[in-house]
Structure 1
Amino acid sequence: MPVYNSNRFLGESIQSVLQQSYKNIELIIVDDGSTDGSLQTAKQFEKFGVKIFSQKNRGAASARNKGLSLATGSFIQYLDADDLLETNKITIQMQVLKNDTKSIAFGDCINFKEQIYSENTILNSHYCRDIKTTEKPDDFIIKMNGGISDLPTGMVEIHSWLCPKNIIEEAGPWNEKLTVDDDGEFFLRVILNSRRIHYLPKSLTYYRKYNDNSSLSNNTGKKNLTASIDSLKSKADILLRSKSAFVYKKIMSDYFWQLAIRCYPDEYDLYEICAKKAIKILGRKKLPKFYIGNKFIDFLANTLSWKLARRLQYIKQKIT
């Protein structure tokens, strides 16, 4: 568990680990230079066997790498300091993985705000509608990334996964140079190094959202967009070296177009970088189906002009 200025929610997250029905657990907390008392709060749990370490602020990826290097267990569960695990989460996944240590598992995730049992909770399982109970890595990646339909792409939250440590070691450490979607890049490598992916919907996790729909790890602006380009380039390098590179070309081209749209018109230089990369990957200019706003904006983007749709969005944002 990487921790940075998470004092408000840290105790609750730690408790969700200590209360797991699967008891053979080693909880390692790496404080990444917090200044809000998080380290002191974490140390209150040392009497329950929680292992606490600290480092100067180097980012969550660095903290996760440090935690991984200290872990003595055979399976790895990552958890951010504001999110929660359902009591039987690890038990359900271990029932499958203990006999299949070359595979990984994930479950459904519930988005919530202040309380996990409230009217604000949302089951975030839209990505699972086409996912079978067991999937091969390439099939899973293709389905999750819109390779077989025009549906919006999905995601699996970092804490939904449970992975044998041997697979993570084969995949390599977290890329500490990435500041956006570093978890997407990391788990892409983990997936490709696994034999199969098990989807166990009842192994629930809870992802804390805030009133502005952000999380502790969310950023905005040009810095965020630039970091997103770096992450997408890294993911493209991984996928376009694989045996399914032909299918992945369309997926990655579509991703760069979607990122280009996010950059337009405010960050036009970044838009050009993304558009050129999208065309280069596929070898031709082929625009994806756009999901950039409400139904009207999407209709406008797909039938008339996505640039016009983006400019209307941009004007509305400036007015409001």
Structure 2
Amino acid sequence: MPFFSVIIPLYNKEDYINECLESALNQRFNDYEIVIVNDGSTDKSVQIVEGFNSDKITLFHQDNQGASKARNKAASLSKGQYLAFLDADDIWKPNHLECLDESIRTFPKSGIYANNYFIKHSNAFTAPAKLNIQINTNKPIILEDFFEASLKETVVWTSATVIEKNKFMSYGMFNTAYPTGEDLDLWIRIAFKEPIVFHPKQTMIYNKSIKNSLGKIEDNDARFILFESFKEYEQKNSSLKAYLDLKRYGLALRTKINGENKIYKDTLKTIGFENLNMKQKLLLGTPSSLLKLLNKIRPVIIKNSLYLRIFKG
């Protein structure tokens, strides 16, 4: 039985899967398998995977059903004790699994294990994830408050995360009712009940620049329903409320730009504006025409930190 099963959902990533798989095969920690579920790709993704000569790789196929079902199928078919998720357009550094193994050995009875990471905003601009946490060590730690730590970028990013397979199954895996945000839903449910372990070393690059990435599907109705599903819990947890309000801020901004007026107005009603800063409030009050212009020039300003200063808290 391998210690880790690397879970890769694959859908039309011919430009990225080669580098992704090379990074997964270049790990210093060697006790792992790679389980790929091809989610009905129509490009050359499958041929590229089949070109790898490695007994670590197992490739399965399904009709196009989305990331949740692809990840769940890969997990069900896996043989490892722990599941390490990796999207086909993201990259691991050689110490990624090594650091996760260190976290597991240090805190063996925890809910989620996550490494620190970089975000690739464009081909010209990659920056460390901006986390709401003071880090004074290079050793794994237990987060005191997952939601507070995630008030900027989320502390737990899927491609930097590991969970014990039995635990993943016991939580019902990823909720396939959500075409987007299914990972966020699972992390929140686990964070209510179990410790979250964070390794400060940055071992993964999240490629946020891909338009058709699995995690960037535009289904804002589903996002709204997801956030509202925790309404009862956030009334008793101020950190969760603040965390979800920032997610709702992003949803409101997105739907205002897209002209999705109903979701925009419904989302505004659910936001506790005391949890937003002045810049975020000003952006929500900005005319949609100006927001659309800013969004249109985003490919230009995203090449440097100006994008983060404008749109991020």
TM-score over 0.5 (shorter chain): yes
Partner of residue 129, structure 1: 133
CA distance in 2 between partners of 1:161 and 1:318 (Å): 30
Give, as a single letter, the amino acid of the residue that structure 2 aligns with 1:273.
D
Partner of residue 268, structure 2: 275
- Assess, with a 3 A threshold, how the Cα gap between structure 1 residues 257 and 93 changes in structure 2: closer, same or farther: closer
Aligned with 2:117 (options 95, 103, 109): 109
Bigger radius of gyration among the two: 1
2:228 matched to 1:228? no
Coordinate RMSD, CA, aligned:
3.2
Partner of residue 175, structure 2: 175
Give, as a single letter, the amino acid of the residue that structure 1 aligns with 2:156.
V
Partner of residue 107, structure 2: 100
Partner of residue 144, structure 1: 150
CA distance in 2 between partners of 1:61 and 1:171 (Å): 14
Give, as a single letter, the amino acid of the residue that structure 1 aligns with 2:149.
K
SS at match of 2:16: helix
**Aligned 8 A contact 1:106 1:199 in 2:** yes
2:246 matched to 1:259? no
**Aligned 8 A contact 2:118 2:127 in 1:** yes
| CA shift for structure 1 position 161 | 1.3
- Assess, with a 3 A threshold, how the Cα gap between structure 1 residues 14 and 316 changes in structure 2: closer, same or farther: closer
Give, as a single letter, the amino acid of the residue that structure 2 aligns with 1:216.
S
- Assess, with a 3 A threshold, how the Cα gap between structure 1 residues 319 and 47 changes in structure 2: closer, same or farther: closer
Structure 2: 5+ residue runs without aligned partners? 1-7, 298-313
Give, as a single letter, the amino acid of the residue that structure 2 aligns with 1:141.
F
| CA shift for structure 1 position 2 | 0.2
- Assess, with a 3 A threshold, how the Cα gap between structure 1 residues 317 and 49 changes in structure 2: closer, same or farther: closer
Aligned with 2:86 (options 55, 79, 83): 79
- Assess, with a 3 A threshold, how the Cα gap between structure 1 residues 101 and 170 changes in structure 2: closer, same or farther: farther
2:87 matched to 1:88? no
Structure 1: 5+ residue runs without aligned partners? 146-151, 279-284, 292-297
**Aligned 8 A contact 1:113 1:209 in 2:** yes
SS at match of 1:17: helix
Give, as a single letter, the amino acid of the residue that structure 2 aligns with 1:21.
R
| CA shift for structure 1 position 237 | 5.1
Aligned with 2:240 (options 248, 264, 267): 248
SS at match of 1:121: strand
- Assess, with a 3 A threshold, how the Cα gap between structure 1 residues 258 and 154 changes in structure 2: closer, same or farther: same
TM-score, normalization: structure 1?
0.76
| CA shift for structure 1 position 43 | 2.1
Identity %, equivalent residues:
22
TM-score, normalization: structure 2?
0.77
Partner of residue 301, structure 2: none
Partner of residue 60, structure 2: 53
Partner of residue 217, structure 1: 214
**Aligned 8 A contact 2:36 2:58 in 1:** yes
SS at match of 1:26: strand
2:290 matched to 1:313? yes
Partner of residue 31, structure 1: 38
- Assess, with a 3 A threshold, how the Cα gap between structure 1 residues 24 and 218 changes in structure 2: closer, same or farther: closer
CA distance in 1 between partners of 2:273 and 2:125 (Å): 39
| CA shift for structure 1 position 253 | 4.8
Partner of residue 18, structure 1: 25
- Give the aligned length: 285
CA distance in 2 between partners of 1:156 and 1:185 (Å): 12
Specify which structure has the higher proportion of strand. 2
Partner of residue 10, structure 2: 3
Q: Deviations over 1:96-132 (max 9, x none)?
A: 30353322322221233788xxx633222x2153467
Q: Deviations over 1:201-229 (max 9, x none)?
A: 2251012243xx74623557xx5322321
Moved more, 74-83 or 180-189: 180-189
